[in-house]
Amino acid sequence: MENKRKNKDFNPHNCPVTHFYNKVGGKWKTVILYGISKNVNRFSLLQKAIPMISKQMLINQLRELEEDLIIERKIFAEIPPRVEYNLTEYGESFMSVINVIQDWGLKDMELNN
């Protein structure tokens, strides 16, 4: 069964910010990308790093990121099988934006504490 995303292509005014959010917006994708960028790149490690995300939601988000060519999934032929996720070159291009958002968040949290 194909998973249809509601807002993947919704951008009636061709807005670049909406385009960005269609790729990595939502509650989890930026957190997942940040984790993968810091070598938290296996399913079980991501689950431990993001305990509030359900298993099914993590699966769905990883599939969407892979479908959008933001991450790649590498399967190692071992017993038991091992799967690792890595940012693609395209996925790396998101990290500069995510890092700026992180810096802003840290400053704002310091100001409001």
Residue 48: give its domain's CATH number. Answer: 1.10.10.10
Domain annotation covers residue 33: yes
Domain annotation covers residue 101: yes
Angle at 84 between CA 78 and CA 86, to 5 degrees: 145
Out of 3-7, 24-28, 73-77, pick the least confident.
3-7
Distances (CA, A) of 82 to 29, 44, 88: 22, 11, 19
Distances (CA, A) of 31 to 10, 26, 45, 78, 112: 22, 10, 13, 28, 22
Beta strands 82-87 and 71-76: pairing type? Answer: antiparallel
Domain annotation covers residue 2: no
Domain annotation covers residue 8: no
The answer to whether 92 and 104 have CB atoms below 8 angstroms apart is no
> pTM to 2 decimals?
0.86
Domain annotation covers residue 88: yes
What is the residue range of 31's domain? 16-111
- Summarised one tens digit per residue, pLDDT across range 49-100 is 999 999 999 999 999 999 999 999 999 999 988 999 999 999 999 999 999 9
Q: Give the count of domains, the chain.
A: 1
Domain annotation covers residue 93: yes
